[in-house]
Structure 1
Amino acid sequence: MSKGIRDQVAVVGMGCTRFAEHWDKSTDDLLVEAAYDAFEDAGIEPTDVDAAWLGTMNSGFAGFTLAGPLKTNYIPVTRVENLCATGSEAFRNACYAVASGVFDVVLAVGVEKLKDSGYSGLTRPSPASDGTAPNITAPASFSFLAPAYFKKYGLDPKEGKKVLSRIAWKNHKNGALNTKAQYRKEVPIEQIENSPMVASPLGIMDCSGVADGAAAAIIVRTEDAHKYREDPMYVKALSIAAGPGDGRITQDFDFTSIQENIAASTAAYKEAGINNPREEIDMAEVHDCFTPTELVIYEDLGFSERGQGWKDVLNGDFDLSGRLPVNPDGGLKSFGHPIGASGLRMLYEMYLQFQGKAGRRQLDNPKIGLTHNLGGTPWQCVSFVSVVGKELS
């Protein structure tokens, strides 16, 4: 990345619905709830917003998906989609618009209404292809990561299963402290380890849930942030990488690393001035769609040395009390995964933590946070990384 927007924009308001099976709420209801929470938090009126970016995968078309329920007054509204990084993409574009100087106050919203749409983790629409792509489910595609990792690093599969189960256990333990999480109770590690098989070695408790929800952010230029609040969240870096899909046709791809993660994090670290993520990042929200995904992410993002992530899991390095807490809000696994909203939900947790408002899961004065999304398959995906901070550099 030749140029970035480090410390040029700030988040001055955020909102987030509970992620759940909202049979009694529509896409409009969820969007309005999250947006108005953000307006109230920033101390602004909807009429103060100059432009909006909406992220949704399947729950609406075009800008009027937001303009209608919010009754916006003919402002520009842009709808974006980038698989599971859709909410992050809305945030990224909104931040760039503010940094460009074109708009002063911008709204970014991510929303998804999945539970009554027929969507599940096993059935999903796929784009047209040349016929060479494997026709498998999402759990199956990510299940390949586990045996490949175990074999490469000499980990007995039974021990490996314990590592994966501990990742899920950690995220449920964190989610039990979060009133907005889809699943709000701890789950015994033995129950996780012995849960019904979905795609070996992944049991159902290794897989994130399907949920409805929305999250929103109000973004302004840094020099204007203190007009709205004394404790804004500053954007240090935004990076997204889209892969060409070579992984499924090359022998070099061994399912123990996702190149898009490396590309996105490398660019984000350069923009944010991060030289040692293990030491300089205080907390992270990562895309734990499946437990082996989180394990691989630790190493791709530099939180663990190659082949050492599993040991760090067992040592509790990524627990709330560990050296680098990961998914303090419960992650996709416990908070839920309404696709268009997940990226902004991750940023919402950073925002709460910086302000000391995370309740029983509050960390001790975090100053630098990271969020990470990926969407697609291990051999071809989009990967997003943000670095955000409590203070200006």
Structure 2
Amino acid sequence: MTSHGIKDRVAIVGMGCTRFAEHWDSSTSDLVVDAAGQAFESAGITKSEVDAFWLGTMNSGFSGMTLSSALKLDYKPVTRVENFCATGSEAFRNACYAVASGAYDIVMALGVEKLKDSGYSGLTRANPPSDGTSTTLTAPARFSMLAPAYSAKYGVPREAFKQAMTRVAWKNHANGARNPRAQYRAVVPEEKITAAPRVAGDLGVFDCSGVSDGAAAALIVRAEDAYKYTDNPLFVKALAFAAGPGTGPIDPDYDYTTFEEVVRSAQDAYKQAGIEDPLAELMMAEVHDCFTPTELVLMEDLGFSQRGQVCGDTMAGRYTLSGELPVNPDGGLKSFGHPIGASGLRMLFECWLQLRGEAPEDRQIKPKGRRYGLTQNLGGSPGDCVSFVAIVGAERG
């Protein structure tokens, strides 16, 4: 996989993020206006100064009109994109490329989703016709396969893996409890997590991410212009995206212990950013913890843990706020919530706070001489997904 990248050619100069919650009293347009308004204010930019917009949403609107009508734009180009749960990341990626190409000076990427308006708990959408080989299992059922597969491959006792899953849920809820924008803001004892009703396989209620409404936005400019708008921009070091062939569910060699799409996109991102040892060079990481076993597998796919070692690393506290590499310091999908189109940009919003030293004191990460933040966002299911990895830093060069 080869890409030249746009390292240090574009910068984020403003961001906004709503609270992720059950926003029964807010519309999609309300959330768009809230997130965009925060971003405009943080950069001192008005909407009239923005040349073009990229909107990410999966189910909450068709065409760029979803954004342009909400913001009452004066005939600006708005591109609507969708890429499963990586939809917000896709909006950001395309917006960055537009600035790097020289086509525009200032652009906005915004992701939004109103899942609760459907009246159902969970993601509802109409699946396109298929040839009959696609899985008909629910998302929890598909991701639950990770746990027994991992245990079998690496000889990890089932109870030990479940304990690591519980620790992931406990960690992310503890982080979310410190975050005023998170959907769930309570520390959940490990014994309560363990005793929760089962959803699928070994997945309990607390092993599944929240269903929520929310929006997040970023303003992007050329790197050389960044300090016109803020004293503390974030510079984009890497943007990597990989779409798999989708053969996992029918491939007898796929063992449900890895996401090859994540491996490939991470390798590409590290090469673009010039990172040789992510565990030693990253200050923080936001990863796609749609289910607790997903986060565990991702720690190995991203190179944070050696193969077969993630349970021990997790139980030892490597990924806590005070650990060697804090993962999901804002609570992750698990606690912050997961409005599909907004999650990728929400992850970048946490990098925006942490790398600028603006996170709440009780969850502000100490840099320890490290300069980078990573976000990893996937969409689909094991063996049949897309993956995005971004790396940003507070310094250029």
Q: Does the pair score TM above 0.5? A: yes
Aligned to 2:182: 181
Classify the secondary structure of the residue corresponding to 1:340.
coil
Amino acid at match of 1:212: D
2:107 alignment counterpart = 106
Match among 359, 362, 365 for residue 364 of structure 2: 362
Match of 2:239 in 1: 238
> Post-superposition shift, 1:123?
4.8
| Residue number in structure 1 paired with 2:19 | 18
1:305 alignment counterpart: 306
Structure 1 residues 61-82: Cα deviation after superposition (integer angstroms, max 9, x where no partner): 1011111010111111000000
Q: Which amino acid aligns with 2:386?
A: V
In the alignment, residue 376 of structure 1 is paired with which amino acid? Answer: G
| Aligned partner letter, 2:365 | L
Relative to the length of structure 2, the TM-score reads 0.98
Deviation at 1:281, TM superposition (A): 1.1
- SS for the counterpart of 2:342 is helix
Alignment of 1:326-345 (within 5 A): 326-345=327-346
Residue 117 of structure 2 aligns to a residue in which SS?
coil
Give per-residue Cα distances to partners, 1:15-74, cap 9 Å, x unaligned: 000000000000000000000100000001110000000000000010111110101111
Cα separation, 2, equivalents of 1:78 and 1:39: 19
Which position in structure 1 is the counterpart of 2:162? 161
- Match of residue 389 from structure 2: 385
- After TM superposition, the structure 1 stretch with the greater mean CA deviation from structure 2, 118-127 or 147-156, is 118-127
The residue that corresponds to 1:95 in the other structure is 96
- Whole-angstrom distance in 1 between the partners of 2:235 and 2:174: 29
Cα distance in 2, alignment partners of residues 141 and 122 from structure 1:
14
Q: Distance in 2 between matches of 1:217 and 1:182?
A: 21
Shift of residue 154, structure 1, vs aligned partner: 1.1
Instruction: Give, as a single letter, the amino acid of the residue that structure 2 aligns with 1:96.
Output: Y
Query: Structure 2 counterpart of 1:143, which letter?
Result: S
Partner-residue secondary structure (3-state), 2:380 = strand
Cα displacement (A) at 1:119:
4.8
Runs of 4 or more, structure 1, over 6 Å off, are none
Q: What residue ranges of structure 1 are gaps of 5+ in the alignment?
A: none
RMSD: 1.0
Question: SS at 1:125's partner residue?
Answer: coil
Partner of residue 256, structure 2: 255
Paired residue for 1:375, among 376, 379, 383? 379
Cα pair 2:59 2:125 within 8 Å, conserved: no
Deviation at 1:133, TM superposition (A): 1.5
Output one character per residue of 1:334-391: Cα deviation in whole Å (capped at 9) or x when no partner: 0000000000000000000011111021011352010001110101001000011011
Amino acid aligned to 2:242: A
Shift of 1:121: 3.2
Q: Give the number of equivalent residue pairs.
A: 393
TM alignment of 1:1-393, pairs within 5 A? 1-121=2-122, 123-359=124-360, 360-365=362-367, 367-393=371-397
Q: Partners of 1:2 and 1:109 in 2: how far apart? A: 25
Q: Whole-Å Cα distance in 2 between the matches of residues 334 and 2 of structure 1?
A: 34
Aligned partner of residue 339 in structure 1, secondary structure: coil
1:170 maps to a residue whose letter is: K
1 CA distance for matches of 2:356 and 2:141? 39
Give the percent of matched residue pairs that are identical in Structure 1 and Structure 2.
65
In the TM superposition, residue 127 of structure 1 has moved relative to its aligned partner by: 2.5
Q: Following the alignment from structure 1 to structure 2, what is the Cα–Cα distance between the partners of residues 247 and 69?
A: 40
What code does the residue aligned with 2:381 have?
Answer: T
SS in 1 for 2:14: strand
TM-fit CA distance, 1:9: 0.3
Which amino acid is the alignment partner of residue 72 of structure 2? K
Indicate if the aligned counterparts of 2:3 and 2:268 stay in contact, CA closer than 8 A: no
Q: Structure 2: which 5+ residue stretches go unaligned? A: none
Q: Deviations over 1:170-219 (max 9, x none)?
A: 00000000000000010000111111000010001100010000000000
